[in-house]
Amino acid sequence: MGTLISLVALVAVVYSTRRPEERDSHALAKYEKHWVALIVVIFVVFSASTLAYLPYPYAHANVKPNMILDVQAQQFAWCLSPAGTWGAPNCETNVVIPIGDTVYFNVSSIDVTHGFGVYDAAGSILFQVQVMPGFYNNIMYQFTAAGTYYIRCLEFCGYGHYLMISQVLNVTSS
C-alpha cells in the first residue's frame, strides 16, 4: 500500500512540475542523454577490463599457487609459516620463494586490525590486504623479480606500529 501511495505521489509531483513552455534553450540539450549513456558505457567497459588484474583468489579459480603461506599478525610482529601451521613456534624469519612462483597468502590477526603490505627493495608497494581479527583474508601474488621483499603494517595498530616491518621474503632465481 505504501508503494502505491509513493508511486501516486511521485506521478503527481512530476506531472505538476511539468510546464510545456519550459524547454532547454541550449543547442546540445537533446544530446545530453547520449553523452551520459556513452560515459556510463565507457566506465563499465573499463571496469570490466580490469577484473583480470584482481589479486584475490576468487577472481582466478584457474590459477594454482606454488606456495601457500599462513600469515599471522599481532602487535607488533608478523609470523609467516607454511600452510596449516599457524603461528608460533612455526614462524619463519626467511622465506625463500623461487622466481616466477605464485604465492597464496592466507592472513589473519590475533589482536587488532592490521594492514599486510608487501614492498619491493625500492620501497614500492606491490599489494596489500586488510588483516582483521577473526577473519581470514587471502591474496595471491606472482613474484617475477629476484630480490628481498619487505612486509609492513599499513594500519595504525598501536604505539609499536612503526616496528611492524619484516624482511622475510627472498625471491631467488633457483
Could you read off the pLDDT of 139-154 as tens digits, one per residue?
Answer: 999 998 888 899 999 8
Only one residue has cell 590475533, namely 110
Domain around 104: 57-172
Q: What would the grid cell of residue 133 be?
A: 581479527
Is residue 7 one of the residues assigned to a domain?
A: no
Q: Give the residue among 107, 110, 108, 128 at the shortest CA–CA distance from 119.
A: 128
Is residue 157 one of the residues assigned to a domain?
A: yes
Is residue 165 one of the residues assigned to a domain?
A: yes
Is residue 43 one of the residues assigned to a domain?
A: no
Quote the pLDDT of residue 20.
57
Is residue 101 one of the residues assigned to a domain?
A: yes
Total count of residues recorded for the chain? 174
CATH number, domain with residue 118: 2.60.40.420
Q: Is the pLDDT of residue 48 over 70?
A: yes
Is residue 31 one of the residues assigned to a domain?
A: no
Is residue 118 one of the residues assigned to a domain?
A: yes
Quote the pLDDT of residue 161.
85
Q: Give the residue among 52, 82, 57, 54 at the shortest CA–CA distance from 70.
A: 82
Q: Is the pLDDT of residue 1 over 60?
A: no
Share of the chain above pLDDT 70, in %: 81
Is residue 99 one of the residues assigned to a domain?
A: yes
Q: Which amino acid is at 83?
A: A
Determine the straight-line distance between the first and last CA of the chain, rounded to whole angstroms. 70
Number of domains in the chain: 1
Q: Is the pLDDT of residue 117 over 90?
A: yes
Tell me the three-class secondary structure of the chain, residue by residue: CHHHHHHHHHHHHHHHHCCCCCCCCCCCHHHHHHHHHHHHHHHHHHHHHCHHHCCCHHHCCCCCCCEEEEEEEECCEEEEEECCCCCCCCCECCEEEECCCEEEEEEEECCCCEEEEEECCCCCEEEEEEECECCCEEEEEECCCCEEEEEEECCCCCCCHHHCEEEEEEEECC
Quote the pLDDT of residue 26.
66
Q: What would the grid cell of residue 142 be?
A: 606472482
Q: Is the pLDDT of residue 24 over 60?
A: no
